């Protein structure tokens, strides 16, 4: 005969596995889609705000603007600017 402690331990383990399984199923079926919907909604509103800002800053036809990239690092060459010369014969 199997000791009752082993049976109780086995039943307890099975119950814990079932609780974890159904908890995971609950999260993936109900809670995760709500989180994804909220994230998508936030991204849509951010994109709409960016589009509105771009439309406000719309450029007229024929207008020339020069925009520099602020993230670009300048090359500080101590020897000066390098010029590639060609020999002329």
Express as a percent the part of the chain with pLDDT over 70.
84
Q: What is the pLDDT of residue 78?
A: 62
**Secondary-structure percent of the chain, ordered helix, strand, coil, rounded to 5:** 60, 0, 40
- Give the angle subtended at the CA of 85 by the CAs of 81 and 89, to the nearest 5°: 165
* Residue 53 pLDDT: 85
Check residue 35 and give its pLDDT. 93
Of the pLDDT bands very low, low, confident and very high (cuts 50, 70, 90), residue 24 is very high
Residue 49, pLDDT above cutoff 70? yes
User: d(Cα 79, Cα 2) in Å, to the nearest integer?
Assistant: 88
Q: Tell me the pLDDT band of 16, cut-offs 50, 70 and 90.
A: very high
């Amino acid at each position: 005969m199997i000791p009752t402690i082993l049976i109780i331990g086995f039943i307890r383990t099975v119950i814990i596995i079932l609780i974890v399984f159904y908890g995971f199923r609950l999260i993936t079926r109900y809670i995760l889609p709500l989180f994804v919907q909220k994230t998508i909604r936030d991204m849509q509103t951010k994109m709409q705000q960016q589009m509105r800002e771009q439309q406000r800053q719309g450029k007229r036809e024929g207008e020339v603007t020069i925009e520099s990239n602020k993230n670009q690092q300048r090359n500080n060459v101590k020897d000066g600017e390098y010029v590639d010369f060609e020999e002329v014969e």
